[in-house]
């Protein structure tokens, strides 16, 4: 199901998809809060008014019965849950956000806004374009050599391939998340046309998945 209103899908179809999701979750009427993703590192703290929008690439909240989500079609989604203080997060990390440690910035935001201990955080790194299909240029290599300290690039057949999953895993560890609390869904969006939208595979004309988190207890 496509969850973006800016890729040519009629808005009523997207609204229907949102309703299907709510029905499936037993979350009738729950707000779905998203942001205008800009490949940066800004984190939106979702509080009382549940207002979304604005230029951010991650959302965190302690508010129950609200779905926070990021939209992807190759970029890496990272979902965070801190079960002690009951805080969740959703992160959008393309190569720029990955290199700038947006996943770590989101963990920092959970700590500073809600007092979360990073070692209590459980993270899931979701499907993104895999290193099998993610051929990149020097710009990415240069960006990965900064805050990430290099790595996560492999050379094959004269091309350079990037590992977004591994890089985001490192970003989380740098922020204090325990390696054993990081779960990776190691599926490539580009390799699985029956399962996923893929910006690369579909030449830019594709839908967007919604990667969401919410507190329902
Ligand atoms: Zn692939």
CA of 128 from ligand 1 middle (Å) equals 9
**Considering the chain, what is the average pLDDT of its residues?**
96
Q: What is the pLDDT of residues 20-55, one digit of tens each?
A: 999 999 999 999 999 999 999 999 999 876 677 899
Where does residue 28 rank: exposed (0-12), middle (13-18), buried (19+ CB within 10 A)? Answer: exposed
CA of 171 from ligand 1 middle (Å) equals 22
CA of 106 from ligand 1 middle (Å) equals 27
Question: Per-residue pLDDT averaged across 116-144, rounded?
Answer: 97
CATH 3.60.140.10 fits domain 11-213: yes
CA of 201 from ligand 1 middle (Å) equals 9
Residue 48's pLDDT is 75
Residue 51's pLDDT is 73
Q: What is the pLDDT of residues 72-99, one digit of tens each?
A: 999 999 999 999 999 999 999 999 999 9
* Intra-chain end-to-end CA distance of the chain, in Å: 26
Structure tokens at 82: 């801190």
Closest CA to 61 of 40, 49, 44, 83: 44
CA of 193 from ligand 1 middle (Å) equals 10
Give the Å distances, CA to CA, from 59 to 53, 65, 109, 205, 212: 10, 15, 9, 26, 10
CA of 129 from ligand 1 middle (Å) equals 6
CA of 166 from ligand 1 middle (Å) equals 15
Task: Give the separation between CA 57 and CA 59, rounded to whole angstroms.
Answer: 7
Confidence of residue 217 (pLDDT cuts 50, 70, 90): confident
């Amino acid at each position: 199901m496509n969850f973006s209103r800016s890729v040519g899908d009629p808005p009523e179809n997207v609204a229907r998809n949102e309703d299907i999701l709510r029905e499936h979750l037993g979350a009738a009427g729950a707000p779905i809060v998203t942001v205008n993703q800009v490949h940066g590192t800004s984190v939106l703290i979702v509080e009382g008014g549940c207002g979304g929008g604005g230029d951010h690439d991650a959302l965190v909240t302690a508010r129950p019965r609200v779905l926070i989500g990021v939209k992807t079609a190759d970029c890496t989604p990272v979902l965070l849950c801190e079960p002690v203080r009951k805080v969740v997060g959703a992160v959008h990390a393309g190569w720029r956000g990955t290199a700038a440690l947006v996943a770590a910035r989101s963990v920092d935001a959970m700590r500073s806004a809600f007092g979360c201990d990073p070692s209590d955080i459980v993270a899931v790194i979701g499907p993104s374009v895999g290193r099998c299909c993610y051929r990149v240029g020097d710009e990415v290599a240069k960006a990965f050599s900064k805050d990430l300290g290099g790595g996560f690039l492999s050379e094959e057949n004269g091309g350079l391939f990037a590992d977004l999953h591994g890089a985001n895993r490192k970003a989380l560890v740098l922020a204090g998340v325990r390696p054993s609390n990081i779960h990776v869904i190691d599926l490539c969006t580009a390799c699985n046309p029956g399962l996923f939208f893929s910006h690369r595979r579909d030449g830019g004309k594709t839908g967007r998945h919604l990667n969401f988190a919410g507190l329902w207890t």
